[in-house]
């Protein structure tokens, strides 16, 4: 999803100011409470949220609290866990945030110290889990970089409203090592192409099982073909194959004789064309 011009204009006019503020606050090593204050300004002036209507501090969730919540269209859209600006972000810092999201039924969370932002997708399974979607450092942002623009858009109201996070996650998943490995190991077209190329190069016909064995044991890393993420990628690929196969069958069924030509006549015409007098 391309960054809308008005959003890019907002970043071009305000980002440098907030980079100065964040650098100064980090040099002073301000507290978590002061970091929250700065982040609310960033969310409002840079990312486009209404500070008074769409940002909630100390959002209550079943007797506990999340530092910030973004809510519009009648529901909580995003939860944010804040750490002091001088504190490095660690994986265990996000556990509390994920628990918050699971209790609230919120799909997206962020962990931030104001400078660094880490975005996660909450996986509603047993046990609740997460996957990192994107990571960006506001002091290192280059607005001329398409990759940085893509990441920034994920944090904006415009991006959140247009489902940019889900789109970005799906695009990232489509080229993950798990998905590419699943395609290589399960695609008939890929297997056929590999056998054909092996034969072209070596003039030797190699069977499919041999190629599969070499791919699994010598070519692809084990971490890409084993484990839950690899299994999920394989299921996703196989579902897409089944869906495409079904669509082709449905299209074949729908493609009868030309409109207005009875099936019997069409069949007779076909027979005549195959057996000329």
135 to 131, 154, 246: CA distances (angstroms): 12, 10, 38
Residue ranges of the chain with pLDDT lower than 50?
A: 261, 263-277
Query: Would you say the C-alpha torsion 141, 145, 151, 152 has a positive or negative sign?
Result: positive
Residue 150: how many CB atoms within 10 A of its CB?
19
Distance between CA atoms of 90 and 111, rounded to whole angstroms?
Answer: 9
pTM for the model stands at 0.73
Sketch the domain layout of the chain as residue ranges.
5-165, 177-252
pLDDT in tens, 215-274: 999 999 988 888 877 888 888 888 888 888 888 887 777 765 555 545 444 444 444 444
pLDDT score, position 35: 95
pLDDT score, position 177: 84
pLDDT score, position 64: 55
pLDDT in tens, 106-128: 899 999 999 999 999 998 878 88
Beta strands in the chain (DSSP E): 55-61, 64-72, 75-82, 108-112, 116-123, 129-137
122 to 47, 102, 104, 145, 232: CA distances (angstroms): 22, 7, 11, 28, 15
Question: CATH assignment of 5-165?
Answer: 3.90.1570
Residue 268: how many CB atoms within 10 A of its CB?
11
Distance between CA atoms of 222 and 234, rounded to whole angstroms?
Answer: 14
pLDDT score, position 113: 96
pLDDT score, position 223: 87
pLDDT score, position 256: 58
Burial of 115 (0-12, 13-18, 19+ CB in 10 A): buried
pLDDT score, position 273: 43
CA nearest to 208, candidates 186, 240, 230, 183: 186
């Amino acid at each position: 999803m391309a960054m809308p011009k008005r959003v890019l204009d907002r970043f071009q006019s305000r980002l440098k100011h907030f980079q100065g503020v964040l650098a100064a606050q980090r040099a002073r090593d301000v507290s978590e409470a002061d970091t929250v204050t700065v982040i609310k300004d960033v969310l409002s002036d840079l990312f486009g949220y209404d500070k008074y209507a769409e940002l909630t501090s100390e959002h209550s969730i079943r007797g506990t609290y999340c530092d910030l919540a973004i809510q519009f269209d009648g529901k909580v859209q995003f939860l944010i866990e804040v750490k002091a600006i001088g504190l490095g972000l660690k994986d265990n810092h996000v556990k509390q945030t994920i628990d918050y999201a699971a209790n609230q039924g919120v799909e997206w969370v962020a962990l931030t110290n104001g400078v660094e932002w880490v975005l996660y997708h909450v996986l509603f399974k047993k046990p609740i889990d997460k996957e990192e979607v994107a990571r960006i450092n506001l002091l290192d942002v280059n607005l001329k970089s398409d990759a940085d623009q893509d990441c920034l858009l994920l944090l904006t109201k415009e991006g959140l409203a247009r489902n940019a996070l889900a789109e970005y996650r799906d695009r990232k998943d489509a080229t993950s090592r798990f998905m590419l490995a699943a395609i290589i190991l399960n695609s008939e077209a890929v297997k056929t192409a590999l056998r054909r190329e092996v034969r072209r190069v070596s003039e030797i016909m190699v069977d499919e099982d041999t190629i599969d064995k070499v791919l699994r044991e010598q070519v692809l890393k084990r971490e890409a073909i084993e484990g839950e993420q690899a299994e999920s990628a394989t299921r996703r690929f196989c579902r897409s194959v089944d869906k495409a196969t079904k669509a082709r069958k449905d299209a074949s069924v729908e493609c009868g004789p030309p409109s207005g030509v009875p099936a019997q006549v069409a069949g007779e015409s076909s027979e005549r064309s195959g057996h000329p007098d």
